[in-house]
């Protein structure tokens, strides 16, 4: 697993500033053993891309730059965010034909996952956001936004609607 430069390839100065502001330094290495044990015991199949991200960015909350509207953040804590969401990860794997490991929380309320191939997605009640094809692209989106079209897609196939949520459009 390529670390550091590989995970941040293509990130601009705003992303690096946001990372430093969150407490990241080049070469940071967090012990991921507890997360691996807890998530494996919960039934997750974990991949090197996820564990590599946790090792370098685990425990950090990366916040968007002031110009991003709406504001955004990514908290890298896979256990706190996703320990009880194995079925959701299985639904993602079925849909996209690759494994998804927990990553953390996007904007305080949406669980995030990283796929075997490196893509990062966020999940809410029957909605999926494609945050980036790579961790670096997802960080760039979190920090800077993109001013483009919505990255959200309706995802009734997730079957994770909360009581009171509607499955149909009016």
Neighbours of 92 (CB within 10 A): 23
How many alpha carbons lie under 13 Å from residue 99 in its C-beta half-sphere? 11
In a domain, 21, yes or no: yes
Q: Look at residue 35 in the predicted model and tell me its pLDDT.
A: 97
In a domain, 124, yes or no: yes
26 is in which domain, residue-wise?
13-154
| 165 and 125 Cβ atoms separated by less than 8 Å | yes
In a domain, 38, yes or no: yes
In a domain, 62, yes or no: yes
- Residue pLDDT, tens place only, 85-117: 999 999 999 999 999 999 999 998 999 999 999
Spatial distance between the Cα atoms of 53 and 135, rounded to a whole number of angstroms:
8
Spatial distance between the Cα atoms of 145 and 77, rounded to a whole number of angstroms:
22
Find the mean pLDDT for residues 19-35.
95
Spatial distance between the Cα atoms of 72 and 70, rounded to a whole number of angstroms:
6
pTM: 0.87
Spatial distance between the Cα atoms of 168 and 170, rounded to a whole number of angstroms:
7
Fill in the DSSP letter of residue 161. P
In a domain, 127, yes or no: yes
H helices present in 31-102, as ranges: 33-41, 48-57, 78-82, 86-96
Question: Which residues make beta-bridge pairs with 105?
Answer: 75, 111
In a domain, 4, yes or no: no
| 96 and 123 Cβ atoms separated by less than 8 Å | no
In a domain, 67, yes or no: yes
Mean pLDDT for all residues in the chain: 87
Question: Which residues make beta-bridge pairs with 122?
Answer: 112, 129
* 24 preceded by a cis bond (ω within 30 of 0): no
Confidence band of 160 (pLDDT split at 50, 70, 90): low
Confidence band of 58 (pLDDT split at 50, 70, 90): very high
**Domains held by the chain: number:** 1
Q: Look at residue 167 in the predicted model and tell me its pLDDT.
A: 35
- Residue 162 scores a pLDDT above 60: no
Q: Look at residue 7 in the predicted model and tell me its pLDDT.
A: 81
In a domain, 113, yes or no: yes
């Amino acid at each position: 697993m390529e670390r550091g430069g590989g995970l941040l390839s293509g990130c601009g100065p705003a992303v690096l500033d946001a990372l430093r502001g969150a407490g990241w330094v080049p070469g940071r290495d967090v012990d991921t053993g507890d997360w691996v044990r807890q998530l494996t015991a919960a039934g997750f199949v974990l991949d090197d891309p996820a564990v590599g991200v946790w090792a370098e960015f685990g425990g950090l909350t990366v916040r968007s730059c002031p110009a991003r509207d709406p504001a955004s953040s990514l908290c890298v804590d896979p256990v706190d965010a996703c320990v009880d969401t194995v079925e959701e990860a299985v639904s993602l794997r079925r849909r996209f034909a690759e494994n998804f490991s927990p990553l953390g929380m996007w904007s305080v309320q949406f669980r995030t996952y990283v796929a075997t191939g490196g893509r990062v997605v966020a999940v809410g009640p029957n909605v999926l956001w494609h945050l980036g094809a790579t961790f670096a692209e997802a960080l760039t989106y979190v920090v800077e936004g993109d001013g483009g079209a919505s990255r959200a897609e309706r995802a009734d196939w997730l079957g994770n609607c909360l009581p009171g949520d509607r499955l149909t459009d009016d």
